[in-house]
Structure 1
Amino acid sequence: MDTLIYLGKLAAALVGGMLLARHVVSRKFSRQASIAQSFFVWTLLFFMGVNTGSIEGILSKLGSIGFSALACTVFGILGTVILSLGASRLFNRGSQKLTIAIAPRKEGSLLRKFWDIFKEPLFLVGIVLSGMVLRLTTPLFSWFESSFVSYLLYAMLACVGMGLVYQNISLKGMVSDKKLLLLPLFTIAGSYLGSLLVPLVTTFTIKESMGIVSGFGWYSLSGIMITDLGYPVLGSVSFVSNLLRESFAFFLIPFFGRLGKQYYYPAVCTAGATSMDVTLPLLSSRFGSVTVVGSIYHGVVMSLVSPLLIPLFF
Structure 2
Amino acid sequence: MVYLILFLMGISLAFVDNLSDHLGTIFSVSLVFLGCITLANLAGLWLLDARHGRLSGERGLPPLSKWTLLLDSVKLCVVILTGILAGQFLDEEWFAVDTLSEWALMLLLLLIGIQLRNSGMKLRQILLNPWGLAISLTVMTSSWVGGLAGAWLLNMPLSQGLAFASGNGWYSLSGILISDRLGPVLGSAAFLNDLARELVAILIIPTLMRRHPSCAIGYGGATAMDFTLPVLQRSGGVSVVPVAIVSGFILSLAGPVLILSFLSLTA
Category of TM-score, reference length = shorter chain: 0.7 to 0.9
| Equivalent pair of 1:46/1:130 in contact (CA under 8 Å) | no
1:249-283: CA deviation from partner (whole Å, max 9, x where unpaired): 012212213xx44x111111101111112222322
For the structure 1 residues 203 and 265, does the alpha-carbon distance in structure 2 shift closer, same or farther, using more than 3 Å as the test?
same
| Equivalent pair of 2:37/2:143 in contact (CA under 8 Å) | yes
1:141 is aligned to 2:102 = no
Give the Cα separation in 2 of the matches to 1:78 and 1:195.
Answer: 11
Give the Cα separation in 2 of the matches to 1:232 and 1:105.
Answer: 38
Give the Cα separation in 2 of the matches to 1:52 and 1:80.
Answer: 28
1:223 is aligned to 2:180 = no
Give the Cα separation in 1 of the matches to 2:7 and 2:193.
Answer: 17
| Equivalent pair of 1:212/1:235 in contact (CA under 8 Å) | no
The one of 71, 75, 81 aligned to 1:120: 75
| Equivalent pair of 2:167/2:255 in contact (CA under 8 Å) | yes
For the structure 1 residues 229 and 196, does the alpha-carbon distance in structure 2 shift closer, same or farther, using more than 3 Å as the test?
closer
For the structure 1 residues 170 and 70, does the alpha-carbon distance in structure 2 shift closer, same or farther, using more than 3 Å as the test?
farther
1:1-314 aligned at under 5 Å gives the runs 38=1, 41-89=2-50, 91-92=51-52, 104=62, 112-113=67-68, 115-131=70-86, 133-134=87-88, 138=89, 140-145=91-96, 148-149=99-100, 150-174=102-126, 178-257=130-209, 260-261=210-211, 263-314=212-263
Equivalent residue of 1:197, what SS? Answer: helix
For the structure 1 residues 207 and 146, does the alpha-carbon distance in structure 2 shift closer, same or farther, using more than 3 Å as the test?
farther
Give the Cα separation in 2 of the matches to 1:234 and 1:279.
Answer: 25
| Equivalent pair of 1:171/1:297 in contact (CA under 8 Å) | no
Amino acid at match of 1:248: V
Give the Cα separation in 2 of the matches to 1:175 and 1:313.
Answer: 24
Following TM superposition, by how much is the alpha carbon of 1:97 offset from its aligned partner in structure 2, in angstroms?
8.9
Give the Cα separation in 2 of the matches to 1:276 and 1:177.
Answer: 14
| Equivalent pair of 2:3/2:76 in contact (CA under 8 Å) | no
Larger Rg: 1
Equivalent residue of 2:256, what SS? Answer: helix
Amino acid at match of 1:87: L
Give the Cα separation in 1 of the matches to 2:234 and 2:201.
Answer: 14
Equivalent residue of 1:204, what SS? Answer: coil
Identical aligned residues as a percent: 26
For the structure 1 residues 139 and 147, does the alpha-carbon distance in structure 2 shift closer, same or farther, using more than 3 Å as the test?
closer
Equivalent residue of 2:156, what SS? Answer: coil
Please report the TM-score for the alignment, with normalisation by the length of structure 1. 0.72
Amino acid at match of 1:191: S
Amino acid at match of 2:85: S
1:49-91: CA deviation from partner (whole Å, max 9, x where unpaired): 44444443332011221222122112112111101111222x3
| Equivalent pair of 1:175/1:294 in contact (CA under 8 Å) | no
Equivalent residue of 1:220, what SS? Answer: helix
Give the Cα separation in 1 of the matches to 2:13 and 2:247.
Answer: 32
Following TM superposition, by how much is the alpha carbon of 1:98 offset from its aligned partner in structure 2, in angstroms?
10
Number of residue pairs aligned between Structure 1 and Structure 2:
261
Please report the TM-score for the alignment, with normalisation by the length of structure 2. 0.83
Instruction: Tell me the C-alpha RMSD between the 2 structures.
Output: 3.0
Which ranges in structure 1 are unaligned for 5 or more consecutive residues? 1-37
Following TM superposition, by how much is the alpha carbon of 1:159 offset from its aligned partner in structure 2, in angstroms?
3.2
For the structure 1 residues 116 and 97, does the alpha-carbon distance in structure 2 shift closer, same or farther, using more than 3 Å as the test?
closer
Following TM superposition, by how much is the alpha carbon of 1:206 offset from its aligned partner in structure 2, in angstroms?
2.4
Following TM superposition, by how much is the alpha carbon of 1:122 offset from its aligned partner in structure 2, in angstroms?
1.2
